[in-house]
A and B are shown apart, each in its own frame.
Chain A
Amino acid sequence: MSDSKPPLDPNLKALESEAIHIFREVAAEFERPVMLYSVGKDSSVLLHLARKAFFPGKIPFPLLHIDTGWKFSEMIAFRDRVVAQFDLDLRAHTNPRGKLENVTPFTHGSSVYTDIMKTQALREALDAGQYDAAFGGARRDEEASRAKERIYSFRTPDHRWDPRNQRPELWSVYNGMIGNGESVRAFPLSNWTEVDIWRYIQAETIPIVPLYFAAPRPVVERDGMLVLAADPRLPLQPDETIRREMVRFRTLGCFPLTGAIRSQATTLDDIIGELETATVSERQGRAIDRDQAGSMEKKKREGYF
């Protein structure tokens, strides 16, 4: 909060204002909003925007973290620091079936695991909190089915998304009217691109998990993916060896399912430079998107974010 910060460029300013507008609109129209906080870069931007939107007041809703138990440990440490620093009301939820039935990404495969520990966990938590609106950090440039997502995305009482029957959304006039048990997912970052996110993080000096920056890290190569080998729970195959490589992450999720990329980008400038010449999409490192074309749409229909 210094006066010396240079003003945002017109693009970032317009994106910021739009996001703040959406935050305020949802907060005013819904009774029990909640913000999904996944600790990643998009969530960090989302959180920053929420703080701006309600300033000088506090964020008038809680944050919800769906913790699968398999997140990178640096993510959890970062989360706890942020919660303390900004005095946030954060609620973490883990599907108890994970412990009871020992559901892991190794034993159950990525799609069953994702369904139980992410999609179902999210639905449980939303039901338990009786939330009627949930903010998410999804962007339309991420994936094909997201390109058709509305800013207010309507969900049935069992959290389903019907892509064929979405409400038309004109101008920036949002329809927040819902019936009993129905809810809305709101996406303030819909119109942002990956580069916008990074440029905004830089312009606003938003703290992010250090895993986004390249550093020498222990990794194993598995199914064409570089898996971080820092967690003792990662079972090694006989033919696998741990190597130290200069790597970073473009997205962060569960460590066994999120691949690192080889990179020398140790600063925000480096990362932005790398992106401008990138030839693969950011979700490329995510095992869950690769199962089949249309797999994100399927998960979204079932209630995934």
Chain B
Amino acid sequence: MTANAQAVSQTGSVADPAGHKARPLRLITCGSVDDGKSTLIGRLLWDTKAVKEDHADVLRRDHRGQQNDLGLPDFALLLDGLQAEREQGITIDVAYRYFSTDRRSFIVADTPGHEQYTRNMATGASTADLAVLLVDARVGLLEQTRRHATIACLMGIRQFVLAVNKIDLIDYDQTRFDEISATFRQFALSLGVTDVTPIPLSALLGENVVTPARKSMPWYGGPTLVNVLELATQRTAQTVGFRLPVQRVCRPDEGFRGYQGTVAGGSVKPGDSVVILPAGTVANVKQIVTFDLVRNAAVAGDAITLVLDRPVDVARGDMIASIDAAPATGRHFDARLVALSQDGINAGKHYWLKSSSRRQRVRVEPLTSLDLGSAQWKEADALPLNAIGTVRLSFDETAIFDPYETNRDTGAFILIDPDSNNTVAGGMVSARSTDIDGLEYGQDRDHVVIALPGDLADRLIASEAFAEMRDRADIRRVGAKQAATLLRSID
């Protein structure tokens, strides 16, 4: 056990010596080829004792002689799970690894560094709480590093560790480390990311990975990589409004009708008023049923069965939401996309869009594409494989979303090519949508004009539900007389 781990176990709870009770932190590691990503993950697994002896034996047997200078197995071989990868010596797909310390358990999405595998990075980043970006201390930041940071940020990651690796090869040079850190901080700021922890480390020698390296780097007083991971925060749904995307209707007998799904934001309790979208029907919650007991509340993440107080029409794909903080509904949304397929994303083509449990037909119109080199959004009318772009989504039927920024569950979607059935894009509904949609649920009108007394209008504008659609509403304050004239012209 390392000094660090020991210190922790003394204060750690006895009932949970290995930190299994808390949800694991999910992280993603990104780096260019040869930055030492495999070595780093291998080191993490090895030093936290996640590698079992029989696996190490198979490695020793199959790759006799391929050991590093320290007599440890070649860490890269430990990781490359698929035969094709072993043959080519590269990592071609996302792999999930597990390890734990006395304080916490972790799931690492190990994603490849090659540019053509942006899609795998996006996949790994979609569920990650934190990103570890690797750079080779001798080389410094690469365009690839910026690319990875940008994608991670786009997918909603706000905590970054900059692992300045191979510090042993530059004689533990603090000046060089400070330079690289400052450059990255600057870049991260341009993405709106402030939570950056740069760490000088040697994955090969295990310095500042799990064990601190005061001897070789007396100038560094910061945390080890594992320290940072142990203290990192987890992403949570930020929306306060209750959301239940309905997965299925449970009707075991005539007397029972429950709506099953996973709470995707907010909380709910019996008696709450809810709206069923897209229909706009209103009802009250009668019961929250789970296998163990009838519960008096449910929160985001809970898989529940909801019973309403009246017979209403609810089907799979509908969303049950709090009445005073409902998600946006409409036929047009703006979103960001990562193109995941060889064929790219093409204007005018129809796709299936799946978000939560809702699947519907959509037309996608690419608007801009992100040039990762210059970090500029440039006009585009198609998005090739691995491109990141903004698009306009147009639906035949009402769609229901929150902005991804406020709710990852109800703001994320995938696109499916109806010809191949393949997943061809991952998308995030952006907070800004330029269309003015009908504010009434389920109507197919493009514009709704609402005239309200001033005080009521003020309250409406101040509400959270409205705030979410703020950028799609056009507010004019007019006198009663002028309003009358205006309304007459509509009739």
Contact = CB atoms under 8 A, between A and B. Distances in A.
Contact of A55 (B262, B289, B316): B289
Contacts of B293: 1, 3
Interface in B173-195: none
A225 B200 CA distance: 45
B54 A281 contact: yes
Contacts of A171: 126-127, 408-409, 412, 426
Interface of B: 16-18, 20-24, 49, 52-55, 58-59, 62, 79-84, 86, 92-98, 105, 107, 119-120, 122-123, 126-127, 247-248, 250-252, 256, 258, 260-262, 289-293, 301-303, 305, 316, 340, 352, 354-357, 408-409, 412-414, 416, 418, 421-423, 426
B53 A175 contact: no
B52 A147 contact: no
Interface string A1-30: 101010001111110110011001101100
A21 B247 contact: yes
A55 B17 contact: no
B83 A10 contact: no
Contacts of B305: 55-56
A184 B93 CA distance: 19
B55 A281 contact: yes
A145 B55 CA distance: 13
A58 interface: yes
Given A11-B23, A167-B423, A173-B413, A17 B250 contact: no
Interface centre among A58, A141, A199, by most chain B C-beta atoms within 10 angstroms, is A141
B423 A169 contact: yes
Contacts of A281: 52, 54-55
Given A148-B94, A279-B53, A284-B52, A14 B23 contact: yes
Closest 7 CB pairs of A and B: A144-B81, A9-B21, A20-B303, A281-B52, A57-B252, A52-B291, A170-B126
B251 A57 contact: yes
Contacts of B256: 56
Nearest to B98: A141
Interface of A: 1, 3, 5, 9-14, 16-17, 20-21, 24-25, 27-28, 51-58, 140-141, 144-148, 163-164, 166-175, 177-179, 190-191, 193, 195-196, 199, 276, 278-281, 284, 290, 292-294, 297-298
Given A173-B354, A281-B55, A294 B86 contact: yes
A168 B302 contact: no
Contacts of B59: 293
Contact of A147 (B83, B95, B423): B95
Given A28-B357, A168-B122, A175 B93 contact: no
Nearest to A21: B262
Given A11-B21, A168-B340, A177-B421, A56 B252 contact: yes
B52 A279 contact: yes
A147 B96 CA distance: 5
A280 B291 contact: no
28 contacts: A9-B20, A9-B22, A17-B301, A17-B302, A21-B303, A24-B260, A28-B316, A54-B250, A54-B260, A58-B252, A147-B81, A147-B97, A148-B81, A148-B94, A148-B96, A168-B122, A168-B340, A170-B126, A170-B412, A177-B352, A193-B98, A193-B105, A195-B20, A196-B20, A276-B18, A280-B52, A293-B59, A293-B86
A56 B289 contact: yes
